[in-house]
Amino acid sequence: MARVLINESITDAGLDCLRAAGHQVDIRSGLSGDDLAEALQGAQALVVRSATQVTAEVLDAVDGLVVVGRAGIGLDNIDVRAATRRGVMVVNAPMSNSVSAAEHAMALLLAQARNVPQAHADLVGGSWDRTRWQGVELADKTLGIVGLGRIGRMVAERAKAFGMRVIAHDPYVAEEYAHRIDVELCPLESLMGRSDFVSLHLARTPETLGLIDAGLLSLAKPGIRIVNAARGGIVDEEALAAAIASGQVGGAAFDVFATEPTTESPLFGLPQVVVTPHLGASTTEAQDKAGVIIAEQVDLALAGEYVPFAVNVEAEAASKEIRPFIPLAQTLGAVFGLLPGSLPECLDVEFRGEIGTHDNSMAILAVVKGLLDHVSAEAVTFVNAMDMARERGLEVRAISVAAPRDYLNTITLRSASHSLAGTVVGLHGEPRIVMVDEHSVDVPWSDHMLIARSFNRPGVIGVMGSALGDAGVNIGNMDVGQSDDGETMLMVLATDSSVPGGVLDELRSHQDILSADRLDLA
């Protein structure tokens, strides 16, 4: 029997599942920080939803914690990396609220188009005003979907039933797949310029934070209406409020905000805006599914059995020979996903050396999980990774070669546009990047990296160092690889913090620097 601390409400069916398994269910509410850490003393499991912040400080203050369960999909409120470092498994309930989230996006779309909550408030307040709240039809309008994952596709299907044309931006979906579901892919700027409505379905990552900003809104079709039922922070709320006030944007409907919970936003005072307090998953059906699924996953973890929806498991099913390479495989997938360009239609994963003589199926899953983790609004697990890859039109091919080259063991990822290789070194199996786009390098991976291509000329490395130094960005490691003809070189820098956008612009404007790309893995 284990003690399971429930810090946010889950369905009775989930609680009953845990009790039936013989566990002690300790129900609390709203604990945070030191109070949460104190309550976790002696507990083996913690179950939360979206409000509880499971920070590194909380995890470090607790001994004996086996598993943290998130009764839902998103993991923004759990420090998964800290949990992994502490040996704490993190599990979630993927797909439990996909239908609810898609339906809520449609509800917001309709409410915004027809001013439903504003008209309701007016009427119950004593005013019958049919003219003020005149709306617009969805039929024959263009809906732009940013993020064509599972929920984005559900919204597309429902929008078509209303007679809408659907276009989408998602560099991680193949053209062929989008064509099969009758959705036209286009660049983000084009989507904003053509859409009457935009619905966001993105993960919140360093790349998507503030994605919809003042510059992008200035390119939008006048009168555009924006729906965000994905993650807060993807839209610059100040910039959007200003664009609505100016008339450039016709209105918005938001379920998520940069800071949650919140009762303040520049959007709240605008009559053209509809808001809800993160209700995307708040349906009876979604909560029932999430509660039962998370209870089952927590029970499996406590029993030491295979846990299908563990998001940070380091492949218990992998052989002892492959297990040390699972973190490397996932890291390479994550780095590859951040390289410039779109998701490839085909990705070759080569295992060379001794690892090429073993079953690498779990390492393949780790590569795909790492690749999709940074681009999917839905949580990626070792169970759903390949299904999600197929849904996005990605074919993954495994290649095994027993003969080593340069290193005893390497994992290499190749697409039509990029290549990336890594190995592990030392007693602790430190992952290192040893090749980028056919340039040999040797750099430990970092949460923050910079890859720059330039002409092979004197002073270029100094330009890079000076630009980063002036911005207060420390270089922890770096290496340089030359092209075969010696004309160009590629620099990989591991930095202590993210490189500011202004520094990237400065580097890209230099006559000898061909490209500079920031990779934030945190």
- Order the strands of the 513-520 sheet from edge to edge: 475-482, 488-495, 448-455, 513-520
Dihedral of CA atoms 240, 245, 250, 252 in degrees, nearest 10, equals 40
DSSP state of 475: E
CA 451 to CA 13: how far, in whole Å?
A: 50
| Pairing state between β 439-444 and 165-169 | unpaired
Q: Strands, DSSP E only, in 8-112? A: 24-27, 45-48, 67-70, 89-92
* Number of Cβ within a 10 Å radius of residue 387: 12
| Pairing state between β 439-444 and 430-436 | antiparallel
Task: Tell whether the torsion through CA atoms of 422, 78, 497 and 146 is positive or negative.
Answer: positive
Of the candidates 223, 211, 227, 221, the one whose C-alpha atom is nearest the C-alpha of residue 274 is 227
**Catalytic positions, please?**
231, 260, 278
CA 267 to CA 252: how far, in whole Å?
A: 8
List, as one string, the DSSP characters of 190-253.
HHHHH-SEEEE-----TTTTT-B-HHHHHTSPTTEEEEE-S-TTSB-HHHHHHHHHHTSEEEEE
DSSP state of 407: B
CA 55 to CA 463: how far, in whole Å?
A: 38
212 beta partners = 235
CA 142 to CA 163: how far, in whole Å?
A: 9
Of the candidates 250, 205, 206, 197, the one whose C-alpha atom is nearest the C-alpha of residue 228 is 197
Enumerate residues 6+ apart whose C-beta is below 8 A from 81.
Answer: 522
Of the candidates 73, 82, 93, 64, the one whose C-alpha atom is nearest the C-alpha of residue 5 is 64
Task: Tell whether the torsion through CA atoms of 277, 280, 282 and 287 is positive or negative.
Answer: negative
CB 490 within 8 A of CB 452: yes
Q: How far is CA 516 from CA 417, 503, 512, in A?
A: 16, 10, 11
CB 422 within 8 A of CB 331: yes
| Pairing state between β 184-185 and 197-200 | unpaired
Q: How far is CA 314 from CA 79, 330, 372, 380, 425, in A?
A: 16, 9, 16, 14, 18
